[in-house]
Structure 1
Amino acid sequence: MVSAVCGKVFPLFQYQLKHISDPRKFSLLSSSSKMNTELWLCGKSVAETELAQSLKTSNCLKLPDDEAGGNSPALSVRLHSETETPPCEFRVNDYMNALSTSCFGRFLICSPRLGSTHDVVSLNFSDLPVGAACVADVQTKGRGRSKNVWESPKGCLMFSFTIQMEDGRVVPLLQYVISLAVTEAIKDLCQQNGTAQLDVKIKWPNDLYLDGLKIGGVLCTSTYKSKKFNVSTGIGLNVGNEKPTICLNAALRKLTPVACELQREDVMAAFFNKFEYLYDIFTQQGFQSLEDLYYKSWLHSGQKVIVQERIDNQDKVMEELVTIQGLSVSGYLLATSEDGRTFELHPDGNRTPNNQQRRENNQFRLANLSEFTIISGRLGPFSFNYTTLIPILALFFLDTPKPINGGSGCAHPASVLSGHLRTSLLGMDTPKQSAEPVTLSSSDSSDDDDFKPQTKRLKCTDAAGEIFKPDFKYTSGEDVLLRKARMYQEYMKVIPVPTKRGSVIPFTSWIGLGSSIKQLYKQPLHYLTNIHLRELDHLRISPPGGEEDNRPLDSVVSPVKAEASIWLMEEVHRLSSSPHHLAKLWSSDRMYHVYIDPIFAGEKGLSSSRLVVQ
């Protein structure tokens, strides 16, 4: 079941090769974590080889705690050049000879057996060069959603690598470039070998399919540090393993019995060669330059899906048949209904449909692609995935105003308007923080029962730490408040606030920033009201490494930051309310002057209001 969500959630699909459901296999995995783990380092150039030597000497590489075997010396770092017969079946020399990149894949970590290559590059990101890769012959703890454990057998190509980006607006589109590079690399290899073409397709957003069966996929995660996005990317591809679905070589044998088999080393080198070429186009010209090629490789053009939306709190579900047209500017699926309405579809899970749900009259129910959500509709319920930080963060950067005339500053919001409204708004100062230092804290009335309503109320303190007293009065007249409300609604429409229902402020604690939300957003939070989190019992995330899934949001992040995010959702509703309703809200809110008055500092007749504390 899919309902409208109030959050642009963009789960990044993980490759799924074999589900471990046998308890005996679970015990095998747990015992394997106590085995000695070997990491073999090598580089293509002298400089990269010297870096490998330095990493070995410094002994700084790490594994996750549960993989390092407690206090036992489980990790051994070696140089590939130290022996003529390293234990890895991955032929490093063949790979390096086929690699022609200037950045990606040149520094390699290889292991005969790892829990997760993705964990290795993520945990050691700061110690590795950009483009560093890690590959394993066998992977025992492949990462999946809902805490699934995946085993990747021999013959499967499993590797991860690092990317670093500065422009947050394009980070969500990176996974499309990676998926496209995989399909193009396979085509290049088939052409070089003179074999029949393997038509590997992309199932949006980043699963790879061949002959209707999943053959691989991509996982991207990101952290933000020192004004850069550190992206760890994992790829799993069935090259020589026919189980559990299909592999490239099995498909080749069906097409040409005497076909030359593809080798993991060649596939991985071909991927990096192609990815570096596409990545340069992507960063210099944008994803639009790759869209035509991408659409040739995906499964969804003209495909019909049924979106489902729960109606308010009722059990009724509204269904709408839509046709997929392509990608929206923000990277989601763009679809149209039969009456011409446009939908932006967001993934919400990666569930496998049962056999009865599959093809029917050339139409697919929603679950046959994945589960989608639409951003129109009521507030809630919410759905978040803690690991999908990239697209949530991108909500800001997608709507950030562009510099004018090559300058570094942003356009005044009124510059996009005209007539008397433009004249009025130009008289207002660009949003700035109030001169009065204000600290926000929160009282928490959360109940242990997650399904009960929860109420949060903000406290406002002055520079001395004194809480503003509840007895107060305003000097603003009703007519002034009403005029402010009208202008404020127009003003909020043109500043870079995501204005669609469902837009959510990203929580700074999710990405490790020490700065405040308003510093990240580059604008103050203009208005905070006493917030009743009517839907907080639906707002959930799954923290990495947490003991429980679906924990309430404010049990993981600071309540005040949760409130700030809910504020934006509430603000979206205020923009669609009447100015009379907005003025009425302000008249009963003691925090109104702290956040609203600075906006109207330059507007005559609107800046005389002040908060009087008695």
Structure 2
Amino acid sequence: MSSADFPTALAAALTTRRFGRVHEHAASLESTNDRALAWLGGSGESPAPDGALVTADRQTAGRGRLGRAWSSAPAGDIYASVVVRPGATRTAAGQSFGALALAVGVGLREGVGAALRGCGRPELAERLSLKWPNDLLLDGRKLAGILCESRWRGRSVDVVVGFGVNVGRERFEGPLADTATSLRLALGAAPPARAELLAATLAALEDSLDAFFDRGFPALRPRYEPHCVVLGRRVEVETPGRGRVSALALSLDPDGALRVREDDGRELRVESADVWLSPDHAMPAPCGSPSD
């Protein structure tokens, strides 16, 4: 499908109320998040409405969590950013914004899973998992990831939810060859059309974020925790001044923070640090990819 045809195909597939109903698509952008943030603020144009979507066939200067480079190739992947304007009342309900990426993860997993079931591969949908705090995995390899950025207006916050999904890639370079996957690789055949996949993802994402901003992360815990690969397993956590420490991942706090117990018995609350499964439970390390 050509870049020019993609917006029309997506509009025909949408089932959302708001997400994606206003849509801007480009063959190439430096960053969909940067464009959505500029549109959110106006920048000489009408500000983006709630649910406005920016997509691109390729990003040339994307970034992941903690400023990591965001690898992008024109291979039929999804690069998308959604403007979310919850308003002051709903901002207060979902004020534990550390869990926002977890709420997005729920939407990604459920949306991609719906698309896989729709193309007759329900067993792959069941093998989707979530790596705290911002990765969607398929068979333990990184399939998609999340970057959320916010702007406060008085007591209200506006959010840009960025995500990338590896859809059409047939190979990865360098360290990504050992840590990432795509739907094409997992299916061994043509993946779902990008427009249909993104439409399913936007519908699930709209649902998960509505729940998050209405009732906070506790409303989504039953949809997140059963699919979180770190809980109950040994991990290594990056800590200020001490480097990586070994610990057991115990639970998630109501605000989405990860609670771990170090080998000396001390409990540690992890809010935004990198987490790896210990070497005997190998897991993709943080790296610059479309889904980081």
- TM-score normalised by the shorter chain: which range applies? 0.7 to 0.9
Decide which of 57, 63, 87 is 1:143's aligned counterpart.
Answer: 63
The code of the aligned residue for 1:343 comes to: L
The code of the aligned residue for 1:327 comes to: L
Decide which of 241, 249, 259 is 1:334's aligned counterpart.
Answer: 259
Q: Tell me, what secondary structure is at the counterpart of 1:239?
A: coil
Is 1:232 aligned to residue 168 of structure 2?
no
State the partner residue of 1:286.
216
Q: Is the 8 A contact 1:304 1:363 kept in 2?
A: no
The code of the aligned residue for 1:236 comes to: G
Q: What are the Cα deviations for residues 363-407 of structure 1, in whole angstroms up to 9, with x where unaligned? A: 88xxx766xxxxxxxxxxxxxxxxxxxxxxxxxxxxxxxxxxxxx
CA distance in 2, matches of 1:195, 1:363: 26
| Aligned-pair CA distance for 1:342 | 2.7
CA RMSD of aligned residues (A): 3.0
CA distance in 2, matches of 1:339, 1:288: 30
Relative to the length of structure 2, the TM-score reads: 0.79
Q: Tell me, what secondary structure is at the counterpart of 1:141?
A: coil
State the partner residue of 2:83.
162
Q: Map 1:508-587; keep pairs closer than 5 Å.
A: none
Is 1:182 aligned to residue 108 of structure 2?
yes
State the partner residue of 1:95.
10
Q: Is the 8 A contact 2:238 2:274 kept in 1?
A: no
CA distance in 2, matches of 1:282, 1:310: 30
Equivalenced residue count is 266
State the partner residue of 2:182.
247
State the partner residue of 1:132.
52
Q: Which has the larger radius of gyration?
A: 1
1:278–1:321 CA distance, 2 compared to 1 (3 A): same
Decide which of 175, 187, 191 is 1:261's aligned counterpart.
Answer: 191
Q: Map 1:46-445; keep pairs closer than 5 Å.
A: 88=3, 91-126=6-41, 127-144=47-64, 145-146=66-67, 148=69, 150-165=71-86, 166=88, 167=91, 169-198=95-124, 199-244=127-172, 245-253=180-188, 261-306=191-236, 321-337=246-262, 341-348=266-273, 359-360=279-280, 362=281
- The percentage of aligned residue pairs carrying the same residue is 27
Q: Tell me, what secondary structure is at the counterpart of 2:57?
A: strand
Q: Tell me, what secondary structure is at the counterpart of 1:114?
A: coil
CA distance in 2, matches of 1:121, 1:95: 18
Q: Is the 8 A contact 1:207 1:214 kept in 2?
A: yes
In structure 2, the gaps of 5 or more residues are: 42-46, 173-179, 287-292
| Aligned-pair CA distance for 1:337 | 4.4
CA distance in 1, matches of 2:36, 2:245: 42
| Aligned-pair CA distance for 1:134 | 0.8
CA distance in 2, matches of 1:319, 1:272: 36
Q: Tell me, what secondary structure is at the counterpart of 2:255?
A: coil
Relative to the length of structure 1, the TM-score reads: 0.40
The code of the aligned residue for 1:121 comes to: A
Larger relative contact order (C-alpha < 8 A, sep ≥ 6)? 2
Q: What are the Cα deviations for residues 20-53 of structure 1, in whole angstroms up to 9, with x where unaligned? A: xxxxxxxxxxxxxxxxxxxxxxxxxxxxxxxxxx
The code of the aligned residue for 2:73 comes to: S
Q: Is the 8 A contact 1:133 1:162 kept in 2?
A: yes
